[in-house]
Amino acid sequence: MRYDVRLVLARSREFPLGNSRCSYELLLPLDEHRRLDLGAWSRRRSGNRARRFSMDLGEAWGELRHDRTGWFLAFGHGEAGEEAFFAESEGSFALGEGIPIIEWDGQIRIYRVTSLAPELVNAGKAA
């Protein structure tokens, strides 16, 4: 099942209160434990969107990808500076959990799951 997930930059030395202007909005295939689901992603690779909001890079659209190195978010055409890697592929996307992401500058930053909801399918269509 796919979930709409919002991640917001957690507290850090640079941002003691976190920073809601640095965030990700994602549509991710998650299993029953709320972990990234390779089988579901393999069956439906398209549409697993990612939207990044960054003070340094601005807004960007991309998608979830997986290869031999693990899970990553690709923005643009695969240049190293346009990718963000999930540092731990076994992390759980549960409300309040921290998700470590290796960002474009090579730094690992922790993002908190601030919203998590099943994908709305056929929204707006009459039943």
Percent of residues, the chain, with pLDDT higher than 90: 64
Tally helices (H) and strands (E) across the chain.
1, 8
Of 79, 51, 83, the C-alpha closest to 65 is: 83
Beta bridge partners of 99: 111
Residue 122 reports pLDDT greater than 70 = no
- Least reliable range by pLDDT among 3-12, 44-53, 118-127: 118-127
Alpha-carbon distance 14 to 71, whole Å? 26
Q: Which residue has the tokens 């003070």?
A: 55
Alpha-carbon distance 117 to 124, whole Å? 17
Kindly indicate the confidence band of residue 73, based on its pLDDT and cuts at 50, 70 and 90: very high
pLDDT of residue 104: 81
Instruction: Select the more confidently predicted residue: 83 or 78.
Output: 83
User: Any alpha helices (H) in the chain, and if so which ranges?
Assistant: 38-43
**In the predicted model, what is the mean pLDDT of residues 65-70?**
90
pLDDT of residue 123: 56
Distances in whole angstroms, Cα of residue 100 to Cα of each of 10, 46, 67, 124, 127: 10, 24, 18, 35, 40
Give residue limits of the domains in the chain: 2-118
Question: Which tokens sit at 49?
Answer: 């969107």
